[in-house]
Structure 1
Amino acid sequence: MEVDYYKILQVDRSAKEDDLKKAYRKLAMKWHPDKNPNNKKDAEAKFKEISEAYDVLSDPQKRAIYDQYGEVGLKCQAPPPGPDDFAGGGSEFRFHPRNADDIFSEFFGFSSPFGDGSRAGPSGFPRGMFGEDIFASLRGGSGSAGDGSASVPRKAPPIERTLPCSLEVLYKGTTKKMRISRDVIDSYGRPSSVEELLTIEIRPGWKKGTKITFPEKGNEHRGIIPSDLVFIIDEKPHGTFKRDGNDLVTTQKISLVEALTGCTVQLTTIDGRDLTVPINSIVSPTYEEVVKGEGMPIPKDPSTKGNLRIKFNIKFPTRLTSEQKTVIKRLFTSS
């Protein structure tokens, strides 16, 4: 679902800089994770969402791109892959989200409740800002601020992106090259941008929802373990076949005569072979012809495949003459 940054910040699309700052201050104070110790996971997600919205809308260039192309155009900086995108070649995928704590620090002079700024109380925030009892609970009831538990770096949440694949790609498998650009911290603690080429191996038989994870390929920030970059397989619709688990399902139109007397189905398989299937049974509206081993590869053993299931759409005549009705009655009565 497309993210609406204006809705997240609770401002209208004509909001000025002062409106954005006012909205961010209010929401960031409300949803900072350290102010919500009993609901920290949800608060952290909301806090990052608010920070990302402010980052985009407060930057004229990012805001212009977002207003024209939406979140996908802003983050991917390229149109979504076309039907033949996996045939080879690379496409750009860039993401440069600013760190939520850095944005918070620009407004309030600190980013962590365990900072040691001169204006801060024992927790790192100005005294009385959120209440010292909250930060005491963050340090743990039995430990102390110096026990090291508070300095354990947290890991940024994963960055997930959908990877649309055709049924042909999921049948055969392929290798996809994806170029990414991310921020890293050098030995002097300074951020710099680097480009990397990721190799995504799509294996035969993979299903929709399969995840490919590249550990810690997100932007680097001091004190935070980078996000994992996760690609999630999606399946594009196919003109002939539908997937049902490891089976492939297709529907063929036949006449009533063919349904009663037999016919031959001609198909082109996913991998381009011509397949001839004789239908010798009487075809009822619920009948399925099953062709063993002509379905999708099974991921754990790609040499083994599911089945091809052929369903039928029987075309009945719109009218019959009296003579035809008499002949049909005679045929079925005699049988």
Structure 2
Amino acid sequence: MCPPPLPALVLAVTVQTTWAGVLCSWTSDESTRRLPSGWRDGLRSLHDLAGCEGYNKAARPIAGSVAELLQALDLEDDGSDQAVDRQRLKRSYRELSVKHHPDKSAESSGFQRLRHAYEILDDPVKLLLYDTGGLELVRQYEMHPDEVPTTENLELSHSISLEEAYGGGDYALGLSKQILCLSCRQQPRLPRCRRCQACPDEVHLRQVWINQWEYYMEEMLVPSGERCRQTDLSLNMTIERGAMSGDRLRFEFMAAQLPGHVPGDVLVNLDVRKHPLFKRRGSDLVLSLHISLLEALVGFKREVVHLDGRVLHLSVPRGGVVHPESLLEIEEGGMPVHEDPSTFGRLLVQFQIEFPEHLDPKAVAQLEEAFAL
């Protein structure tokens, strides 16, 4: 069989290349995302056949319906800020899973749909991805989480007192961030959608054809079809006993939300403020105690309030002598050890003797007599 003439080959390549360019451009259009899934799968096959690279990156998968997931568990979206009531969700799932369990029902597909809906609704990250990217994006997150884009982590600094580092406890940390308004693209009349506005423009990739055979990928900003709003919330922050400056608390998936993205983490860096009385040295506490020359020579009694509020009684018996820069060690009187808060460091009392600037002749004579100089 003879090969076709050269002009025919050129014409075929030109037609094929032009067709591919049109197809790649058309299948990346926003309108194709609203087509039925069967049609969309067919377009995907044609798209791959045309050699269109970057298709998955250029257009997010079609979004899913949260309302349908709720209906699978006999629930409705009441339009409140929390689209999913966790307690009602768990209660409904327990009841329906017993009813539709394969051991009690011949219809096993009903149980599978029930479990599928519950797994998404019960996971805040999967719910966000499903609402903006559908089941395809959820499956991608489950199988290849590193391939799903993540919003930037939010780093905050939080200052605590040495008393708070000593005792630990739970504290509230205020935070303002952007959140997605669930289902507001499909159900804009929901009460929670009234305060929402368009999310920031989304970055998509498109193919720019240089000629009939070559193209390159270009980033473009596309108006988002999703709705977002700013919200103020409170993070429950647990400070462990013995916390130190530089410790970092991580709140997973609590950073800003964007369509088709996994939320990043909120990172809180702790800074322990200096204390007017105690200085920290690892797990030890250092207390500089100023005493007079007379107290250094004849003894003294002092009371010091510790970080936990208890009163420490420090004393040197009468007749005892405190030497300059001498150190008193009190075991278990320091900070809780961070790795083992049931044990404590030491309290190191450094004596600072305050010498008089000068002595009058009478005092000198009395000292000479006392020391028999």
Compute the TM-score of the two structures, normalised by the length of structure 1. Answer: 0.50
Q: 1:300-311 to 2 correspondence within 5 Å?
A: 300-311=339-350
RMSD: 3.3
- Which residue among 223, 228, 243 is the counterpart of 1:192? 228
Name the CA shift for 1:148/1:261 in 2 (closer, same or farther; >3 Å): farther
Q: Deviations over 1:134-165 (max 9, x none)?
A: xxxxxxxxxx9459799933433321111111
Q: Deviations over 1:120-143 (max 9, x none)?
A: 9xxxxxxxxxxxxxxxxxxxxxxx
Which residue pairs with 1:291 in the alignment? 330
Matched residue pairs, number? 195
Q: CA deviation at 1:257?
A: 2.3
* Gaps in structure 2 of 5+ consecutive residues: 1-23, 29-51, 61-146, 186-224
Q: CA deviation at 1:278?
A: 2.2
Q: CA deviation at 1:210?
A: 0.9
Q: 1:241-320 to 2 correspondence within 5 Å?
A: 241-279=278-316, 282-320=321-359
Please give the alpha-carbon distance, in whole angstroms, between the structure 2 residues aligned to 1:263 and 1:247.
24
Please give the alpha-carbon distance, in whole angstroms, between the structure 2 residues aligned to 1:191 and 1:313.
65
Identity of aligned residues (%): 29
Compute the TM-score of the two structures, normalised by the length of structure 2. Answer: 0.45
Please give the alpha-carbon distance, in whole angstroms, between the structure 1 residues aligned to 2:158 and 2:327.
33
Which residue pairs with 1:161 in the alignment? 156
Q: CA deviation at 1:254?
A: 0.8
Q: Does the CA contact (< 8 Å) of 2:288 and 2:352 recur in 1?
A: yes
Q: Does the CA contact (< 8 Å) of 2:152 and 2:255 recur in 1?
A: no
Q: CA deviation at 1:229?
A: 0.6
Q: 1:168-247 to 2 correspondence within 5 Å?
A: 168-185=163-180, 186-187=182-183, 188=185, 190-193=226-229, 196-247=233-284
**Which residue identity is paired with 2:228?**
S
Q: Deviations over 1:36-83 (max 9, x none)?
A: xxxxxxxxxxxxxxxxxxxxxxxxxxxxxxxxxxxxxxxxxxxxxxxx
**Which residue identity is paired with 1:174?**
G
**Which residue identity is paired with 1:180?**
L
Please give the alpha-carbon distance, in whole angstroms, between the structure 1 residues aligned to 2:306 and 2:54.
66
Q: Does the CA contact (< 8 Å) of 1:183 and 1:191 recur in 2?
A: no
* Gaps in structure 1 of 5+ consecutive residues: 1-115, 121-143
SS class of match (1:171): helix
Q: Does the CA contact (< 8 Å) of 2:226 and 2:259 recur in 1?
A: no
SS class of match (2:155): strand
Q: CA deviation at 1:282?
A: 3.5
Q: CA deviation at 1:243?
A: 1.4
**Which residue identity is paired with 1:192?**
C
Please give the alpha-carbon distance, in whole angstroms, between the structure 1 residues aligned to 2:297 and 2:236.
53
Q: Does the CA contact (< 8 Å) of 1:160 and 1:230 recur in 2?
A: yes
